[in-house]
Structure 1
Amino acid sequence: MPENINWNGVIQSITDFWLPLLGWIIGIILVIAIVFIVKKIKKKKEENIYKLK
């Protein structure tokens, strides 16, 4: 590794900026996926109710 790069600063930058950013992105994707799955399950339940009538 090059000596002129402050690797502690690079690691600090990653932990302070990129990890929270990735956490937010993953969290948003998870929320969207959960909402999509719940809507799909509700739609199937409604279809089953109409079939029973």
Structure 2
Amino acid sequence: MKFDEELKAMIVAEAKAKLEEDRKAAKAAAEAEAAAKGAAEELKKNIQEETKAKFE
């Protein structure tokens, strides 16, 4: 019986560690996506300003 409890505890600990790892990866991915969107918006703005300046 003790072996079963230890095995269950190990499985739970591994699952929690994997969940935490996945959560950190998801957070990093969301931050990278937000940074990419910000960079794309900045690039779009710069292109619009350059285009406008050419025609003034």
TM range (shorter): 0.7 to 0.9
| Shift >2 Å, 4+ stretches | none
Q: Which runs of 5+ in 2 are unaligned?
A: 1-5
Alpha-carbon distance in 1 for matches of 2:52, 2:18: 51
| Alpha-carbon displacement from aligned partner over 1:4-35 (angstroms, at most 9, x marks no partner) | 863x32133212x1111111111111111110
Q: Give the aligned partner of residue 21 of structure 2.
A: 18
Alpha-carbon distance in 2 for matches of 1:20, 1:30: 15
TM-score (norm 1): 0.75
Q: How many residues align?
A: 48
Alpha-carbon distance in 1 for matches of 2:36, 2:43: 11
TM-score (norm 2): 0.71
Alpha-carbon distance in 1 for matches of 2:17, 2:32: 24
Relative to its length, the structure with more helix (as a share) is 2
Identity of aligned residues (%): 10
Root-mean-square deviation (CA, aligned residues, Å) is: 1.7
Q: Which runs of 5+ in 1 are unaligned?
A: none
